[in-house]
Every structure is written in structure tokens, then in C-alpha cells.
Amino acid sequence: MPGPGRTPAEELGLPPGQRAAPRWKPSHYGSVPVLRPETWRLAVGGATRSGGTTVLDLAALAELPAAELVAPLHCVDRHSVPAVRWGGVRLAEVLALEPPEEGAEHVLLAAARGYSSSLPLAELRRPDALLATHADGEPLTPEHGWPARVVLPRLYGFKGPKWVAEITYHREPQQGWWESHGYHPRGRVDLEERWAHQG
């Protein structure tokens, strides 16, 4: 039972407007892409310091320092999975392999099936920003984003795409798939930034 004057959501530490999901159910539009471990790649490019692009496969990703993070997953439709034990590598480690040029302070995250989201580069440099390959000690299932998904705990889930394939640096904010469909350009959960019309 929640304490006096506290809702069940508040007891779980959920942000405003969110309710705890009874189970972690996958949420996405369209069908799950069929990806193969031997051909999956993650490209880091765009406005890079070197002018080039770094491409990682799963073997290269596995050579980076492993990281774990217990963090919630907040869906823009107001449900939250309160605590997932994510495993993978910190996105800061990935970015360090191909740093951005000076003045490139925005990124576009692109994923399979044409999904993409736009956000400030600073969000990927946070210590809790993860490129996740595992959840609760098991590899991600295809429905939950295998082989890799972006986890950004203080943002709504649409900002961290599943099946991520590209991280592209830009000097100006971009409009990803989600933003072009009316979702908020920043997506902070604590501020309930769900829709673009909120400003």
C-alpha cells in the first residue's frame, strides 16, 4: 500500500503522468525487422572531427568496456517499466571512437525500418546513456530492440530507438521520424514533454 497521501506511481518513484506497467510489453509501429548478427552494423558519422565514419559490428562493440545500469523505461503513452537492468556499453564510449567536430552539438539516431529521433549530443554523453544489448541479464529480444537499442532514462522511450543503426552528428537540430509525426523535440519525462505543440 502507498504511504499517506502518495499514489502507487509516486511510491515507485515514477515521474508525473506515468503509471507502472504490469509487464514489459514491446511497443513499436509496424513489424519487427529481421536482422542478422553477422551483418548488423552501427555507423558513427556526420560532422566528425576526422571527416570520416566509424563502423562497429557486434564483435567490435563487445570489445568496449561493459556497463550495467538499472533504470526505468518511460513510454510516451504514459506507462513505465520501473526498473530494468540494462547491459551494454556507455554511449560516451561509442562517441569517443569517432568524436564530433567543434560546433556539432546535435545528433540524429537512425534505426531499422526508417525510424529516427533527434536530440542534443549532450544527452548521449550522460553517464546513464547506454547502448543496450541486454536486459535483466539476457540478450534483448528482437521485439525489444535486438541487437542494440539506445537507453536514455530521463527521456521518453521514443528518443532512444530500438534496432539502432546510425549515430550522425549535426551542427543544427534535425527532424527525425518521431519529431516529424508531432512528438516533442526534447522529450524530457520530468517535464512531460510528449508533443511538439507543448513548445
- Supply 70's cell numbers: 538499472
Q: The whole model's pTM is what?
A: 0.89
Q: What is the pLDDT of residue 197?
A: 82
How confident is residue 198, by pLDDT bands cut at 50, 70 and 90? confident
Q: For 11-58, write each residue's pLDDT tens digit.
A: 457 899 999 987 777 666 667 889 999 999 999 999 999 999 999 999
Domains of the chain: 34-198 (3.90.420.10)
Cα 162 to Cα 143: distance, rounded to the nearest angstrom: 9
Q: What is the pLDDT of residue 12?
A: 57
- Sequence letter at residue 162: K
CB burial readout 91-109, b (16+ within 10 A) else e? bebbbeebebeeebebbbb
What integer is the mean pLDDT of 86-114?
A: 97
Under 8 Å between Cβ of 110 and 166: yes
Task: Give Cβ neighbours of residue 17 (< 8 Å, ≥ 6 apart).
Answer: 78, 192
Q: For 106-154, write each residue's pLDDT tens digit.
A: 999 999 988 999 999 999 999 999 999 999 999 999 999 999 999 999 9
Give the rounded percent of residues in the chain with a pLDDT score beyond 90: 77
Cα 96 to Cα 91: distance, rounded to the nearest angstrom: 9
What integer is the mean pLDDT of 147-165?
A: 95
Task: Give Cβ neighbours of residue 175 (< 8 Å, ≥ 6 apart).
Answer: 118
